Structures are given as C-alpha cells and as structure tokens.
Structure 1
C-alpha cells in the first residue's frame, strides 16, 4: 500500500483544541463528533462553490418538476496519517453527473461497469437482448394475434351463450309438450313423442359440442401462433436473466472491501450469509464504504465519520438539506459490519434500555382495563434486543392479566395515553372500537417552523423504507392510506404548537406527515428520524375518548404534555 493519499484534505481551521474520539462512530445511530462537524462544514463550503449544481439540487427543493434533480448523500471520514496529521476524506453516494473536479472525492471502490472492456461488451449483449424483447413485445404480428385471439374468444362466448339459451328454451318447450300430451295421447303415441323429443335433445347437444370443437380448433391455432412469439420472448428473458446474474456476480466480485484487520471480502461473500444472498442495487457505492476503503488502502487511521444530505428531498423519503443521517440499512449494514472489524467502535445506543429508571404511571384502573401514561423513549412492546416495555411491565405488575394485553401502540419516542386490556373479552371489545375508528385520539406536537394556515389535513400513503429501516416513506403505489388532520394552537420562537388528529394508525404517521415536503414540511422538534435530535421527541398522545369494553360507559382521559 502507498502512503500517497491525494484525497486526504487538511482542515482549513485549527482543530488542535478538539479532543480526539476514543472510539469510531457507530454509523447507524450517532451524534456527529466535533471533528466530523468541522469536516462537514468545510466540505459544505466547497459544495457551495459549485453554483450550477447548487442551483439544480438546492434551489429547486420547493419546485415540482420532472426535470428537477434531487439531492444526494455526502460523507466525511476524519482520519490521521502516518505523520500524525489530522485531515478528512470526502465522498458521495452513487454517481455525480456534474463537474466536481475542485473537490477531491475518494474514488469508487470499483469502476468495472464504466471501464472494463469485457464487462461493457457483455453489458451491450444484455442490452441487445433487452432490445429484442422490447421489439418482439411490441411487434405488429404479436399485436395482430392478440387482437384476433381476443375477437375470437368474444365471438365464441357470444355464440356459446346463444346456443345455450336456445337449448334452455327448447328444453322448456319439450317439457311443455310432454305435459300436454300425457293425457291426450295413447301410451304408444306418447312413448313415440318422448323418443322424438329425446332425439331433439341429443341433436342439440351434438350441435353444442360441434360448436365448441369448431371454436376450440380456431383458438388452438391462434394460441399456437401466439406461443411461437411468446416462447421466443420467454427464451430471451431466461437468457437475459442468466447472463445478468453472471455479470452481476463478476461485478460484485470486483467490490473488494477491507477491514481494519486487513481482511478483504467481496460483495458476494458479504451478502452470502443473508436471507436474500444477492446484494441490492447500488451496494458498495454509498459514501461510508468508499471512505473506509480509501482510508485502509492508504494507511489512514479512521477516527470519526458523518453523513449528510445535500439538496432537494426525494419524492418519497424525508431528507432535509444539510441534516445528518445514518448509514443506510439494506446496502451498508452488511458491508460496514465487515469493514468495522478491528476498530474500536462506539456502543450501539439502540441496545441500551431507554426505559431504565422510568416509571409507568397508571391513569385509570379497574378489573378489565388500564390507561397508562407512557413516558417518551419507552417501548410499547418488547423489541428485538430490549425486553423492558409497557407489555413486560404490565405482565409483571398484573400477573393475572390474560390475552394480548396491548390494544394499540405508541412509537418508542412518543409519550402519552395508552389503553391496556387485562383480559381477552376486554381486549376484543377495545380492539373492535379501534378497527371501527370510534375511539377519539388527539396528539399535541411542537414542529420546527411557523405554519401559516390555521388548520388542514394531510393524506399521504405510507410504507416501510426497506433501504432505511425503521423509517417510513411516502409511496402511492404500495403505501397504505394514511390521513391526519391538524389545528394550530400557538406560534412562538419559530416553532408551532398544534393538535394532530390521526384518522388512521400507520407507523410513524404523524412524524412523516409533519416532516414530509408534501405534508407540513416541518419535522417535529426532536425527531431523530426525520428532523433534528433534541432532548426528546415533542409528540404526546394527550387525549383519548372511548367506551368501556364491558359496561360501555363513556370514558374520557386527558394528560398534558411535559413540553
């Protein structure tokens, strides 16, 4: 390895007074270390010197246009070189189309897809296969056959229905003839009539069978003609899949990632132990893996890392210009788990019990149910790594409680009123009220900014962002309906206090509806997922109105927020 590191950037301001971190940043949940903040500020000053790109990504943040570029995730890695000098590395996730030659971004881990002749040749073959598939799929012969098949099928159904209707009418007519003749004709003549009528029935059935066979022969010919084209498309798709998979494996093999121990693993090996086995698109091209790879390759000691969003938010996920964000879940977690081996890394704060030392106040209690005031940073149900929760506390305090107990949930960071059922009958009755949406809920929140209107509604469908769990995103294709109404209470110090009324109960619904650019575009104060971290998330479930699950008495509860 060489000691030359052209992407190593010295701090433009003195940082001698800043204490070096004892451990490296835990990349999936962190507060930026002071040195990383200085590095980010310096990089952002450089980005601001790119006016054309700045105009595209930032100034268009509020402009709805198909041509508007969205922003991008950038990252810095504070490092120390062999001469004990402090500096930092800069990187971006994915690709940049604009000229950023004035900034020494670390290179991609692999440029095979851009430079390797064999890769490009194979990629051209796959593109040609795509073109063949498209040509066949939109060809005139296929269109003609499909139209003929649709027309023939429709005609067949019409003639079939007509023949069957005729047979029903004939059957009724023969029945009437038999009924009228039974007393009028002699036995021999009546038997002869029955035989004639039976012959008519047989003849009609033969005609129906002949009709079906005739049309089936025509349809079979058309299906064969169709299959000759669709089978060719299927063969091409199978060939494309095979060649793409092989090419993808070759590409993933080029993404060789080091860790602090000097061990190398490619993307195929890193993702082999995971359920999906195959790395997602773009894996290895995020800022964090690029930064660490460059540092290891150039004998630079990693000290701290931070990533931030620069520019306009995408349509689905929530991203605020210049805000810090953790490394992504689906692409980066497996890679960074390998790359951080050998480094002393900060403890994962998500493994620390946030409810430790907090009391769960009971607002109402009877033999069938409870209403509790859940503190902020307190799980409603046990998590993957933390057992302590409203559920576990209630099970411990009320060992006689039966059934699911938890009727509804609040986010861990949200405080407020929560209904608990102490038996199965109460749980079923309460859950029915939630399903039928007869329970009245009201939240109070403090958002970052001054809302101009006095009230309104937000209707944005939500789904899990699989690339960035547990965050949610807006998705009109796969998202579930989510509706919130709101009303302003007070404006003060560039914040707005408001009431929120969720008409549906989606995960992070109120948080996303407040923060998203198509919602209020103002994150809730202290929202570390969609805004900026503070002493707590300023969201509280303050009001509940519902009927008692057993005696059906109207119950109303209200507990003020502590912010």
Structure 2
C-alpha cells in the first residue's frame, strides 16, 4: 500500500474519487451545504478474497450532525446517540458550563461592581484626608519660616501627629469596609474554581471513556484503544477528534470486512478553512497530530511504500561558495535538510561537519525542498552575531520562485508587500497557517515581492523576506489572503497535478551583509527543471 503521508494518487484513485462526486448523496441539500464549506474525503482501494478490487469512501468527522450517510463507511465508534453515555455526560458538562457562566456574569460581576463602587468611595475619603494633611503641612511650614515659639511648635507637632493618625484611621476604616465584600469575592472565586476543576475532571473522564471505545485494528489482527496508542507513541492524551479522520475509518472498515488495502488518498472538497491553504479537489497527506500515531499502529502488517523523502543520496554534498575562518556560505540542493532531523537523513550541517572535521552552526535555515544559499558559522559566538543581524534585518535575502498562476489577471500589483501573520497549525504539523488576528500564537510576517515575468501561465517572481517565519514565502504565495498562487512543486500547500514538477521551484538566490566592517554579497542561479 502507498504511504498515506507521502503519495501521488494513481489514476484508479482519481477515478474512484471522481465517481464518488457523482453520487446522488453529494447533491442532498444538508450534505451538500455542509461539504461546500470544506470537508476532507478519503478513498481506499481494496481487494476481497476473490481478487475483486473495489473502492471505499469516507469523510472526516460528521456531516450534518451524523456519522451515517449512504455510500460512506461508518464511524469507528458512534457516540452520537442522544440517550447514550457520551451525550448524557456531555449535557451534564454543558449544564455545568451554564452554571459557571451564570455565576461569572451575574453574581461575580455584581460583586466586582459593588467592590469598585465602595473602593472608589474609600479611596476618595483617603485622598481627602491626604490633601487635608498636605495643606496643613504647607501652612505649618510657612508659619515656621516666620518664626514660632516653643509652645507653638509643640502645637504644630501635635497637629501633624493628629492628621497622620486621622489618615491612618481613614485607611483602616477603608480596609474594614472592603473586607466583607473582598471575602465574598474570594468565596465566589473559590466556588467558580471548584466548578471549573469539576468540569475539567468530567471532561477528562469523558474523553478517556470515549477514546477507550475507539478500538483500532491493524493488519495483524491486533487491536488497541486510542488512549494506549497515544501513551505508547508520545505519552500524551489523544487530541480531540482522534479516530475520526478518513484514513483510520477506511482501514478499520477494510480490516473488519477482510478486505486488503491497496491504495489510499484524501481529497479536499469545498472552501478552504480561514487561515489555512486547501484547494478544492487537491489531494493531501494524512494529518500528523492525530493520524501519525494511529496509522503507525493500524498499518502494522501492511507492506507500505517507503517515504520518498528518505531516498536522497546520503553523500549529496552542498556546494561551498565561500569560506573563511569565521563562517561559510553554501549552495544547498533541494531535498537536503538544513539541520539534522529526527531521522538519520543527511543534512547540510552533518555533511559539513564531516567535511571540515569540526562543528558548524547554522545562522538560518532553508526548508528541505528549498534550494539556494545558506550561511553557517564555525563558532557559537559568530552564530549569535548572525542571529542578531537577522533579527535587526541587517541581512538581505532574495529568493526566486515560480508560481502556479498568472498574476497579471489578478488584482495584485506587480510589485508590493505581503503582510500576513503566521502561526503553527497545531493539528497538522509541520503546516503553518495564517493567523490574521494573532489569536493562535501568530507572529508578524512581512515579504516584499517583484514580478520578473509571466510566461506560459506561470509567474516568475522575486521574494525579499523581511522576517523569517517558518514556510513564510510558501504561505504568502499560496494563501488566498496573500497572492493566492502556490509555488510550483510545493507538496505541502499545493497538492495539485495541474503543473507537475519534480521539486519545489523556490531558490535562495542572493544574500548580503556586513561582517566586521567588510561587506559580503553572494548570488546563486537556480537549477530549476525544464518544463
């Protein structure tokens, strides 16, 4: 079977997906209305005991509040029965949410208003006493300048002591007045905290119960629940929605009905979710946060194709453009990691360490599929200097890219700036997403661009990144909120076969900076494959 994480759909898979789109159910109003907003569909080709090949179809999650639609495999576990354990306990948690909201928005809010009103009154009384004391001091100081007798000085001292005591009594009275309301506020906060802790425990218990009922099969006839799978994989609780993606549902159905999985693919249908880059009809890999642990278990016993990313020759050496005693500049080929990853795949750093027989430290990184100029230091101090230079935008970089689309037929100018904050897509690493309002940990990302030419429906462009966010250029190109034209060959943000290419057409073509008073400038021409 092909890997659900690295694949190109075969003609048979594409044909099965096309046939699925013709089913009557696809035009059923509740079904159609929801999927047009965006939904992932999966196709699995299977073979039965007689050697007959057929296709199975699945959708992620639910459609119109149901798991069950004719022509699609059922869920691994259906928890939507209104009188069932999950829905009953879900309603209990919802009721608790309403209680918490009622207390916070009424009782607690009312106590805070009462406190603020009383606090303003006591603060005003203290301020009056403080001003009275200050005014009296001004008068005393003036009288002392004119000269006072010993008896008068004693009276002035007594007046000062009295007014200070009055201010102290005023503050004490304020604390005494505020104490009861503060006590009630603390009691209310403690009650809210107790209810929230109860809600947390109820939610955790319900999720644990839910995931214990997702019994995932594999090709060897074994089964494990989701709790166990995730604990053994990375020691965490399964993310919400685990077990409800297309690939697990399809494999589970195949195993239950003694069908041999042959090929699998997932296709996006409908609009792209806000902030993400999804194209209608394009195929996508299974997600990592939920499906990587699950499918790792479920595919045991299957002969799964090896990831193509591991086929890079181990001794592919980056071209050294320049070197001195402090740093070097290399030309990284597409497909080579910049720094060592989780596997033993070669990287620029590992290869240069072997070449030089010493440590090297990257000043920045290029994506695996991006080629071009990469700056590395020979010591940590120099690396730190380069990091500060990048932060201060003292290092200028230029990238050359080819975009799948004609910018001249869009409303975008031929030269401009893209400003789209980016954040990690926590549900589908390593993808990033646009985070316009920076509510998901997003950071500002700025890119200047200039169109070089438009040829054969493709836009040749220069990018000048002002920030260095992960996948910045790829998302600024592909996102509908950016240029809306993905980089040709980008298998992460554009999985369409309209312009097939053996690599991503993005190349770091120039880098310039000053170091110890000496200007440096390096250029590199891309080695893009001919169309």
Normalising by structure 1, we get a TM-score of 0.84
**Which residue of structure 2 aligns with residue 272 of structure 1?**
231
Report deviation, 1:381: 1.3
Paired with 2:183 and 2:399, the residues of 1 have a C-alpha distance of: 63
Per-residue deviation at 1:445?
Answer: 0.4
Change (3 A) 1:160 1:390: farther
| Contact map agreement 1:54 1:311 (CA 8 A) in 2 | no
Q: How does 1:260-409 map to 2 (within 5 A)?
A: 260-273=219-232, 275=234, 277-350=236-309, 352=310, 354=312, 356-386=314-344, 388-399=346-357, 405-409=361-365
Contact kept, 8 Å, 2:226 with 2:238, in 1: the verdict is yes
Instruction: Name which of structure 1's ranges 261-270 and 316-325 shifts more when overlaid on structure 2.
Output: 261-270
Please, which of 545, 557, 560 is the counterpart of residue 512 of structure 2?
545
Hey, what does 1:417 align to over in structure 2?
373
Distance 1:458 1:47 in 2: 42
Q: What SS does the corresponding residue of 2:224 show, helix, strand or coil? A: strand
Deviations 1:152-192 (A, max 9, x none): 223333443454454455556656666765xx75xxx3xx5
**Equivalent residue number for residue 491 of structure 2:** 528
Conservation of the 8 A alpha-carbon contact between 1:451 and 1:496: yes
Contact conserved, 2:268 with 2:278, CA < 8 A, in 1?
yes
SS of equivalent residue, structure 2 residue 81:
helix
2:19 to 27, 33, 42: 42
Contact 1:50/1:100 (<8 A) preserved? no
Runs of 4+ with deviation above 6 angstroms? 98-102
CA 1:425–1:228: 2 relative to 1, 3 Å: closer
Provide the residue aligned with 1:77 in structure 2. 44
What is the Cα deviation at residue 464 of structure 1? Answer: 1.0
Over residues 186-221 of structure 1, what are the superposed CA-to-partner deviations in whole Å (9 max), with x where a residue is unaligned? xxx3xx555544433432332222111211122222
Distance change >3 Å, CA 250–CA 84, structure 1 → 2: same
For structure 2, list consecutive stretches of 5 or more residues without a partner in the other structure.
Answer: none
Tell me how far apart the structure 2 counterparts of residues 424 and 253 of structure 1 sit (CA, whole Å).
48
CA–CA distance in structure 2, aligned partners of residues 86 and 353 of structure 1 = 30
Shift of 1:460: 1.0
> Are the counterparts in 2 of residues 353 and 388 from structure 1 also a CA contact under 8 Å?
no
The 3-state SS of whatever aligns with 1:225 is helix
User: Whole-Å Cα distance in 2 between the matches of residues 168 and 377 of structure 1?
Assistant: 76
Secondary structure of the structure 2 residue equivalent to 1:334: helix
Alignment of 1:173-192 (within 5 A): 181=147, 189=150
Counterparts in 2 of 1:82 and 1:232: CA distance versus 1, 3 Å = same
Any idea what the Cα deviations from partners look like across 1:60-99, whole Å, max 9, x if unmatched? Answer: xxxxxxxxx5211111111111222111111010111299
The number of aligned residues is 517
1:146 aligns with 2:112: yes
Give deviations 1:124-160, integer Å, cap 9, x for gaps. Answer: 2222222222222222x44332212122223333443
Residue 473 (structure 1) aligned with residue 436 (structure 2): no
Q: Which residue of 2 aligns with 1:94?
A: 61
User: 1:473-512 alignment to 2 at 5 Å?
Assistant: 473-475=433-435, 476=437, 477=439, 478-512=441-475
Other-structure match for 1:155 = 121
Equivalent residue number for residue 98 of structure 2: 131
What residue is the counterpart of 1:238 in the other structure?
A: 197
CA positional deviation for 1:525: 0.3
- Partners in 2 of 1:423 and 1:270 — Cα distance? 42
Cα deviation digits, residues 441-490 of structure 1 (max 9, x gap)? 11110011111242232211111111111111111312110011212111
Q: Distance in 1 between matches of 2:83 and 2:73?
A: 20
Please name the residue that 2:84 is paired with: 117
> Does the CA-based 8 Å contact 2:266-2:286 persist in structure 1?
yes
The 3-state SS of whatever aligns with 2:61 is coil
Distance in 2 separating the partners of 1:448 and 1:483:
21
What is the CA–CA distance in structure 2 between the aligned matches of 1:133 and 1:409, rounded to whole Å?
47
Distance in 1, matches of 2:25 and 2:80, equals 30
Q: Which residues of structure 1 form unaligned runs of 5+?
A: 1-23, 59-68
Which residue is 2:519 aligned to?
554
Contact 2:34 / 2:64 at 8 angstroms: preserved in 1? no
Match of 1:108 in 2: 75
Superposition deviation, residue 109 in structure 1: 1.0
Question: For residues 41 and 356 of structure 1, do their structure 2 counterparts lie closer, same or farther at Cα, with a shift above 3 Å needed?
Answer: farther
Q: SS of the counterpart of 1:218? A: helix
* Residue aligning to 1:9: none
TM-score (norm 2): 0.89
SS of equivalent to 2:284 = coil
Distance 1:120 1:295 in 2: 28
- Aligned in 2, Cα 1:266/1:201: closer, same or farther, shift over 3 Å? same
Change in 2 beyond 3 A, CA 1:159/1:386? farther
Q: Within 2, Cα distance between the matches of 1:294 and 1:132?
A: 41
Call closer, same or farther: CA 1:52–1:456 in 2, change over 3 Å.
farther
Give the 3-state SS of the residue equivalent to 1:138 in structure 2. Answer: helix
RMSD: 2.8
Alignment of 1:195-234 (within 5 A): 195-234=154-193
Distance 2:73 2:492 in 1: 28
